[in-house]
Structure 1
Amino acid sequence: MFEFKVVVLTSTAIVLGISYYMLRKKCILDAVDAFRYLTIKIVENTVDCDEVIKEILKQCVVSRAIGFDCEWVTVNGNKRPVALIQISTYDGFCGLFRLNKLQHCPESLKELLEDEKIYKVGVAPIDDAKYIAADYGINLKATLDIRHIAQLCGYDPGGLATLSKSLLGIVLDKSWRIRCSDWEVDQLSDRQLNYAAADAHVAIRMFVKLFDQYSRSKWPWWKWSHNEQWSNIDNLCWQYADVCFKTKTSKKMKNGMKEVEKQPKKELAQSKRYPYAARSSPLYHNCFLQAPDGELLCTCDTKKAKWYVEKELADVITEEPLTVRLRFEPAGRSVGEVGKYYQLTKQNVCVVCGEHNSYIRKNVVPREYRKHFPEVMKDHSSHDVVLLCVSCHQRSNMRDQAVRERLAQTCDAPFADHVRAMYIEDVECKKVRSAARALLYQARKHVLPPARRKELENILLQNFPAHDMVTEELLNEAAEMSIFVENADYESHGHKVTEFYLEQGGLLRLEELWREHFLQSMKPQYMPKLWSVTHTEERLRVRLSEGRLSEEDLKLIGTYL
């Protein structure tokens, strides 16, 4: 009787296992069947590449979005260059660009990837962009993580397979055997081709569905026509372009879907996830500073205006708005457009979106570069300090990273790592400190064998030859010793970049590069009037005409005006 039960149970388990296997296999086959309409083009030469890119551009002229993904091979834990780039249009035209066969990135493909008007949608595409930049020097623009839009529409932002199943009802083939297969093989298998094309195509399919859903919920019904709807794509997508998806928000169930519980901006700014603190007071007080004859020199904050008065260097003219007049002749006066900039009153709002409840100072030219500028360029640096709300500040910093990486490559200025860090760990010091801490804490518990205790004491005495025996004082000193020493080989990324520009074209070009990047990447709508990319050059020209700029200053800048 017992044996019969075992046989029955075993048979049932086998039947269930076979049923599950067949069901799973059917699901995968269903996914293959769902994409039988795809037109897959394998690209292994430049001529084919140009033709495929031409067709892709033709099919995405209205939607301005394509599905994007890439594959590579990892050998012994080391990543090899990207071997395959997958691009798909909504109509099902898929280009599989075998970069390992091409040995380079053709110009037509490069132009498409760097076109900021066409969104490259997928899951974590910005990570793929970093690999492509490192492997082929391509500055991939307008990447869009579909999880931003999924979360906005109330869906759980899982991985590509999870989203595909919940949004499209399609189960993707995510077997490790295919994901980790050889993408550099001489000829890709049918399963590899279907897998690669499906990953790119399902991304654009989901994006279109989510965008349509969002459009119908936000815009009036007469804008639901295909062309009218896609003309508004930038209104939604620009704020998420080239932004990592790292937001972790609390969610609650509502009507079977997950509803995002938004966190107040001020609370977000003070959280551990986003350490920047929002300002509790305005940056611009718009007090007025006058020359002795009453000419307006500039606006300033209350603290600075009161400092002049307290030092008896100025007199209060009016209290509201606070206006003070200097008792001495200033070194220079406001001249031309560059001078008028400092006379203007400025708004305490986010220069990108106009948010006025919470904002953070943004250095348009990052401090890691500006701190290496000569003093003559650091004067009046308030021009490059603007206000951004928390979300715009986070987005701007993320987009800055692409420029930093490009500068690192162009200027041969790698970022700090365990080899190039400013401070490195001294192995011997760490060994001594560990020995001291073991003796100090473990010996008190009487858990150290005599032989081990003697070994640790010898380590201490060898490194402290002035001591004949191990004392409590010696243990405390060794337990708190620093194990980091300055790295003689350390080279600051920011310093190397400024040195490169100083030799190649002048620091003004580096400064202007960052200003142009800010305007292009953030498209600010509320910038202060007269804010200019060439502001510093114009200001220095005024100083040069007034005889307040020496030849030595010009050499430090690396240019001649």
Structure 2
Amino acid sequence: MSAMSAWSRTTLCALTAVGTLTAVISAFWGFSRRARRLDVTSLLDLSRIVVVDSEAACNEVVEGLLGPERPAVVGLDCEWANSPSLRGNKSGGGKSGDVARTKVDLLQLATLDRAVLVRLRKMRGKFPKKLEEMIENKSILKVGVAVCEDAVRLQNDYGVRVGGCLDLRHIATRCRYSWWTGGGTVIERASGLQSLAATVLGVALEKSFRVRCSNWRAEFLTDKQVMYAANDAYVAVKIFERLMSWDNGRELWKDGIGAYETVIDVPFKYISKKLNKNKKGCKPLKPKASSYATRHSPLYDNCQLEAPNGILLCTCDRRKIDWYLKRSLAEIVCEDPPTARLNFEPSGVPDESRKYYLANKLNVYVVCGKDNSYLRKNVVPHEYRKYFPADMKNHRSHDVLLLCTDCHRLSDYHDGLLRQKLAADYRAPVSGSQAARQSRNPQLVRVRSAANALMQKKHRLPQQRKTNLESVLKDHYDVEEISEDLLKESASMDANKTLDEEYVSHGEMVIAAAKAQGKLKDFERMWRQHFLDTMHPQYLPAYWSVTHNQ
């Protein structure tokens, strides 16, 4: 009994200690959360917020918003009222049965020290001239979450074209800090302004439903409405500033668009549709097995090929060495590393510009440095390089690097944005009715599949399945019996149908235009610099260069 009593007392003390510790942690966490909320409400006080409801007042305030010493970046957001009376009214922007929105009532702009709230519905349909000039100026970045969608609303409602919009989620995707999301990108967890504020700034942004859905068309806005609206735009600028410091992007903060030019005025939904796999939350899309073909062997064998006098000509893979050996054009002079010496004089010896091909290369991912599998990345996409002249194609290996699957996905995403920009610049559509020379003919595909099944698996197919497949062929050719020749012809038929004999692909159009402008080398350099700017590789092979073969 005494032993049991001692055990009970010990257990009770332990439970009491755990309970006390839990209470302390809960109290600290609660205090921390309250402190962070208080911190947010003090981001901008009413003294640094200007509300304007006339064209003259707006022009005066906006003109002084961006002085000569201020960075050309503003936070932008919009508020509008939802009107149940406009259910099903398409002009109100809603679908049948929905609560439709009215025109944008409030436009919020913010810099790092103040905010301006423009009550557009108070101006009787007149959009302030100075305000229009500012938001149409593409050299002034407008940052926020879903800011491109807000730009569309302003254009639809007031006919102004907002330029220079940058969705913060594009930058957050690029920053990719593992301590945020366990190795994924920040966007997998922080998809809205509130989430980004918590992740990037460490603050809990209040998003009260009562304020968010309040009457933004009221005669006078309450202090809570003013603070809510101003901080939405202000927090966007603060997030932008913080992300820039994480991304080593101070050049952009000081000098303008810079490395993010490819995502200016590009809605973030381009990638979010791929990431939002289910309704429960944003989870990273797991690539299909066929999406990325990983190598089972290293990309670099680091074999060496020498001239007869022992001068190193290049490092290469084992297949190249075997090619020379099989034709008795070389002999092995060393096994580690495998080295073959030519028995004839080569046409030339490498000069200073070919150092890249002489150096050994590590089989590691160039971004994260891991080496658990081998996935190749074409820095200059194949759809463009295949139209390069022969002398530029010969240096293709320089632009084939190793990436992990996650980095490959992120790089492909950024490549897609640049591809969209090239499509607009060169009027070369990437997709759509003009972007496909051929289309699959479903009926011919069915006939060919049936013929292949009958040829390859005829003796293993159930009788009913065999009869059904034979019926497909008989119906298509309108015959009673299927000959062996007909079966072979069907199995090898072309199931494509030509849509446009004069079709020119996106890549061919872009390269033709760049060649006509004498800018093929610039085009190649652009893609290499794009890879550096978007992926920040830390483990590039020695002598890898943006200006290689230039």
- What's the TM-score bracket when you normalise by the shorter of the two chains? 0.5 to 0.7
Deviations 1:107-131 (A, max 9, x none): 99422329xxxxx452x56888999
The aligned counterpart of 2:64 is 51
**Letter of the 1:111 counterpart:** S
Give how far 1:504 is off: 0.9
The aligned counterpart of 1:39 is 50
Deviations 1:502-554 (A, max 9, x none): 111242221122122222333333322322223223xxxxxxxxxxxxxxxxx
The aligned counterpart of 1:365 is 380
The aligned counterpart of 1:282 is 298
Alpha carbons of structure 1 residues 40 and 391: separation in structure 2 relative to 1, 3 Å: farther
Give how far 1:352 is off: 2.9
Alpha carbons of structure 1 residues 199 and 247: separation in structure 2 relative to 1, 3 Å: farther
Range 135-144 or range 497-506, more displaced = 135-144
1:252-271 aligned within 5 A: 271=287
Give how far 1:403 is off: 2.0
The aligned counterpart of 1:171 is 208
SS of equivalent residue, structure 1 residue 299: strand
**Letter of the 2:345 counterpart:** E
**Letter of the 2:401 counterpart:** V
1:393 to 408, 411, 415: 408
TM-score under structure 1 length normalisation: 0.56
Partners of 2:212 and 2:62 in 1: CA distance: 28
**Letter of the 1:202 counterpart:** D
- Confirm whether residue 490 of structure 1 aligns to residue 503 of structure 2: yes
1:453-532 aligned within 5 A: 482=495, 484-532=497-545
The aligned counterpart of 2:324 is 308
The aligned counterpart of 1:413 is 428
The aligned counterpart of 2:36 is none
The aligned counterpart of 2:138 is 110
Partners of 1:309 and 1:200 in 2: CA distance: 73
CA contact (8 A) 2:147 2:167 kept: no
**Letter of the 2:323 counterpart:** W
1:333 to 349, 366, 371: 349
Partners of 1:517 and 1:95 in 2: CA distance: 37
**Letter of the 1:365 counterpart:** V
CA contact (8 A) 1:372 1:495 kept: yes
Partners of 1:161 and 1:532 in 2: CA distance: 40
- Confirm whether residue 403 of structure 1 aligns to residue 418 of structure 2: yes
Alpha carbons of structure 1 residues 236 and 101: separation in structure 2 relative to 1, 3 Å: closer
State percent identity of aligned pairs: 33
Give how far 1:322 is off: 1.0
The aligned counterpart of 2:110 is 88
TM-score under structure 2 length normalisation: 0.57
**Letter of the 2:521 counterpart:** L
Give how far 1:57 is off: 3.8
Deviations 1:175-214 (A, max 9, x none): 6998xxxxxxxx99988xx999957843764896x99xxx
Partners of 1:495 and 1:380 in 2: CA distance: 19
Partners of 1:505 and 1:284 in 2: CA distance: 34
Alpha carbons of structure 1 residues 231 and 112: separation in structure 2 relative to 1, 3 Å: closer
Alpha carbons of structure 1 residues 157 and 493: separation in structure 2 relative to 1, 3 Å: same
The aligned counterpart of 1:450 is none
CA contact (8 A) 2:144 2:236 kept: no
CA contact (8 A) 1:150 1:156 kept: no
Give how far 1:349 is off: 2.3
**Letter of the 2:208 counterpart:** V
**Letter of the 1:388 counterpart:** L
CA contact (8 A) 2:305 2:314 kept: yes
SS of equivalent residue, structure 2 residue 346: coil
- Unpaired segments ≥5 residues, structure 2: 1-39, 81-89, 95-102, 121-125, 155-160, 183-187, 253-258, 448-463, 465-474
CA contact (8 A) 2:144 2:233 kept: yes
Alpha carbons of structure 1 residues 521 and 96: separation in structure 2 relative to 1, 3 Å: farther
Deviations 1:389-440 (A, max 9, x none): 333322222222232222212212122203442225889x89x99xxxxxxx
Give how far 1:385 is off: 1.2
The aligned counterpart of 1:272 is 288
